[in-house]
Amino acid sequence: GENVEQHPSTLSVQEGDSAVIKCTYSDSASNYFPWYKQELGKRPQLIIDIRSNVGEKKDQRIAVTLNKTAKHFSLHITETQPEDSAVYFCAATISADGLTFGKGTHLIIQP
């Protein structure tokens, strides 16, 4: 089955700086890669996603890049703000199959 590795487990950045979280996946058939943000005790919320026929997608301060050959994808957050502090999860799947998640990155925005 699919296996997703996520790094780093904790990331601390100064407010206003950029943050990058990286994930690798094992199954070359995976074609959908979402990123979720989860605040303490809450449900995961989708922040951005990308399909395998696209190399990059951007939504305001958030962008995701995908390298199918290397089987890795990354989340980029620019101009970080205090409200960006949360746990971020990457995931991979084939169409409507269940998601395989990474173990998460705890992002800390230092004032």
Partner 1 sequence: DGGITQSPKYLFRKEGQNVTLSCEQNLNHDAMYWYRQDPGQGLRLIYYSQIVNDFQKGDIAEGYSVSREKKESFPLTVTSAQKNPTAFYLCASSTWTGDTDTQYFGPGTRLTVL
Binding site for partner 1 (CB under 8 A): 1, 6, 32, 34, 42-46, 49, 89, 91, 93, 95-104
Query: Residue 45 or 67: which CB sits closer to partner 1?
Result: 45
CB of 16 to partner 1, least distance (A): 28
Query: Residue 49 or 78: which CB sits closer to partner 1?
Result: 49
Question: Tokens for 89?
Answer: 């999860």
Q: How far apart are the first and last CA of the chain?
A: 41
Query: Residue 77 or 87: which CB sits closer to partner 1?
Result: 87
Question: Tokens for 77?
Answer: 């957050």
How many beta carbons lie within 10 A of that of residue 86, not counting itself?
A: 21
Query: Residue 15 or 103: which CB sits closer to partner 1?
Result: 103
CB of 79 to partner 1, least distance (A): 25
Do 51 and 31 touch, CB atoms closer than 8 A? yes
Do 18 and 97 touch, CB atoms closer than 8 A? no
CB of 43 to partner 1, least distance (A): 4
How many beta carbons lie within 10 A of that of residue 81, not counting itself?
A: 11
